[in-house]
Amino acid sequence: MTTQQWQDIVKEKQAEAAARIPQAWRLPPEVTASISENASTNVLDVPRQSGLLSLRQLDITENYDATALLEQIHCGTLTSLEVAEAFCIRAAIAQQVTHCLTETFFDRALERAKELDDYFRSTGQVRGPLHGLPISLKDCFNVQGIPSTVGLTSFVAHGPVQTNSAVVQILLELGAVLYVKTNVPQGMLAGESHNYIFGRTLNPHRSNLSAGGSSGGEGALIAMRGSILGVGTDIAGSIRIPAISNGTFALRPSIDRIPYGGQTDSGRNGLSGIKSCAGPLATSVRDLGLFTKAVIERDPWQFDSSAIFSTWRTVPAKPKLRLGFVLEDPHFPVLPPVLNTLTCAVTALKAAGHEVIDLEIPSIRDATLLAFRMFAMDPASTPFTHINASGEPKIPALSTTILPNESMPYEYVPHTLESLYDLNAQREAFRERFREVMRQNQIDAIIMPGLQGTAPPHDSMGWVPYTVLANVLDYPAVVIPYRKANKADDAKYLRDVMYRRLYLPDEIEGAPCSVQVLGRTMREEELLRDAATIAAALVSTDDKDNS
């Protein structure tokens, strides 16, 4: 396959994708002409200003989280069809200003919504707890009859897939309406959602900033409210990085609690190591619970042999929390906006009556090195063979997390069975040391950063120590959006330390900030309870600051 051939394949696929957006849903060229990765455009208000959405459609897409929207559908105030149409239009608008989508199947979604409405009218019943709710999917989730290319030109030839991923089948049986798949990095290998088929996803807050990855299309779409509940995957932070970058909520669940099977992947099967997991991005903590509870209660093992059977537990309320606080690893100092955000968060939580104690934990740098050595243990480098198969070049972001480099001057380990044993032993020892810290301090959860900074300029996400920690530990983790970068207010948090990422206050002004909350393995119920309590304390303080 020649270089020209891969470019022709990409051109044809792009034309197909563009043609699937109805003419009536297209923005005029003067709206999109000035939006690019080199500009600093905020496009969050484009759907409202476009004139393409009616007042009722604006209300549907802007004024409800998924839980509240389901209440409106299930009591008959809203129909599944009008909800689906509103989100299809808004997703189409989001695509034109952020390049957040890969596959769109709007006609199929509208037909599905009509069928759900007919069922509701004839029976007075709903099909399931997610009846009528539009849910977006990361590109890797297989939907029967829809392609899954995961950002690889060589995968375009695979065409539509024949079966549904396990989580897709469950969502359909729960009554959801599936309508779009969202953009990813080339092979899902980076923290920047950029590939040559569907382009680079732009951050809707500032188009010069990364939307994160590898579930970056989900993060951007939900920030644009072209979706209010989407599903991503996470092996080093790929659900949480986009949530942090775009200002949404997210949950990285424990491995295999949400079924992962039946996806398209660029990696090689057979090495367990640090496994990826599936989980939700949303606009509220309670919607993270809505998704997780609904899927778990459907008994995922019936759809995926690797899924862990675990009933959803009702946990008692706990209004006052004992929280551990981790500011940073000295090897990866957090930038001023993150230090400001975490300082404000701790102050707010203490003011709300929660106990916050400083934790001394094992080295996050060591956990990061361990993780990326484990990720590289495929001697065939299978994802790169898929890239090379088409002749397309590697995206620039792939070069930022290769050992050794300036931030991590360490080598990979040999591709030997001896090395694999050693890495697994190191991981288990690290997990045990961390468990002992949690046990000795008797904490409910850990408050910590999610990234070293906010969303950075494109192709500079680099190492992600604060998200990959949860993957090494297999701890569930929640991202809560909180505050925004403000160069005037953040200036007092600038320190004389060796930052591993450039601090560019003018380029990130107004970018979302957040806190990350870690819980205990298989304890999503407690984590989501505590995250809701934490979010309420932060929102209350934020409201006072803005009044």
DSSP, residue by residue, 145-174: TSB--TT-GGGGGG-B-SS--HHHHHHHHT
Q: In Å, what is the CA distance from 86 to each residue of 138, 158, 255, 300, 464?
A: 20, 31, 34, 30, 36
Instruction: Indicate whether 523 pLDDT > 80.
Output: yes
Distance between CA atoms of residues 535 and 310, nearest Å: 26
Q: What is the pLDDT of residue 543?
A: 60
Mean pLDDT value across residues 327-337: 98
Distance between CA atoms of residues 454 and 502, nearest Å: 11
Indicate the SS3 state at residue 289. Answer: helix
What residues are designated binding site?
A: 188, 214, 235-238
Instruction: Indicate whether 163 pLDDT > 70.
Output: yes
- Residue 468 burial (CB < 10 Å; 0-12/13-18/19+)? buried
Distance between CA atoms of residues 215 and 205, nearest Å: 17
Give the chain's domains with CATH numbers: 6-302 (3.90.1300.10), 322-377+413-546 (3.90.1300.10)
Active site residues: 138, 214, 238
Q: In Å, what is the CA distance from 271 to each residue of 99, 267, 375, 379?
A: 33, 10, 10, 11
Indicate the SS3 state at residue 219. Answer: helix
Question: What is the pLDDT confidence band of residue 494, given thresholds at 50, 70 and 90?
Answer: very high
Give percent of the chain above pLDDT 70. 98
Residue 244 near residue 82 (C-beta atoms within 8 A) = no
Q: What is the pLDDT of residue 1?
A: 43
Q: Could you read off the pLDDT of 346-384 as tens digits, one per residue?
A: 999 999 999 999 999 999 999 999 999 999 999 999 999
Mean pLDDT value across residues 167-195: 98
Mean pLDDT value across residues 400-418: 97
Number of alpha carbons in the 13 Å side-chain half-sphere of residue 250: 37
Mean pLDDT value across residues 127-154: 98
What residues are designated binding site for substrate?
A: 188, 214, 235-238
Q: Could you read off the pLDDT of 204-259 as tens digits, one per residue?
A: 999 999 999 999 999 999 999 999 999 999 999 999 999 999 999 999 999 999 99
Instruction: Indicate whether 408 pLDDT > 70.
Output: yes
Q: What is the pLDDT of residue 545?
A: 60
Number of alpha carbons in the 13 Å side-chain half-sphere of residue 444: 20
Number of alpha carbons in the 13 Å side-chain half-sphere of residue 484: 14
pLDDT higher at 308 or 271 = 308
**Average pLDDT taken over every residue of the chain:** 97
Instruction: Indicate whether 168 pLDDT > 70.
Output: yes
Q: Strand pairing of 177-182 and 249-252?
A: unpaired
Mean pLDDT value across residues 253-275: 96
Distance between CA atoms of residues 180 and 422, nearest Å: 42
Distance between CA atoms of residues 301 and 478, nearest Å: 24
Distance between CA atoms of residues 527 and 445, nearest Å: 7
Residue 432 near residue 330 (C-beta atoms within 8 A) = no
pLDDT higher at 283 or 546 = 283
**Cα-flanking dihedrals φ and ψ of residue 21, to 5°?**
-85, 115
Distance between CA atoms of residues 95 and 524, nearest Å: 32
Give percent of the chain above pLDDT 90. 97
Q: What is the pLDDT of residue 393?
A: 98
SS3 sequence of 432-460: HHHHHHHHHHCCCEEEECCCCCCCCECCC
Q: What is the pLDDT of residue 541?
A: 66
Residue 425: count of CB within 10 angstroms of its CB: 10
Q: Strand pairing of 445-448 and 322-325?
A: parallel
Q: Strand pairing of 277-282 and 101-104?
A: unpaired
Q: Could you read off the pLDDT of 449-481 as tens digits, one per residue?
A: 999 999 999 999 999 999 999 999 999 999 999
Instruction: Indicate whether 443 pLDDT > 80.
Output: yes
Q: What is the pLDDT of residue 272?
A: 83
Q: What is the pLDDT of residue 540?
A: 73
Mean pLDDT value across residues 505-526: 98
Mean pLDDT value across residues 489-516: 98
Mean pLDDT value across residues 400-424: 97
Residue 128: count of CB within 10 angstroms of its CB: 18
Residue 172 near residue 165 (C-beta atoms within 8 A) = no
Residue 291 near residue 250 (C-beta atoms within 8 A) = no
Instruction: Indicate whether 194 pLDDT > 60.
Output: yes
472 Cβ contact list (under 8 Å, min separation 6): 274, 367, 370, 371, 427, 430, 431
Q: What is the pLDDT of residue 271?
A: 87
Nearest to 337 by CA among 491, 464, 545: 491
Distance between CA atoms of residues 412 and 372, nearest Å: 8
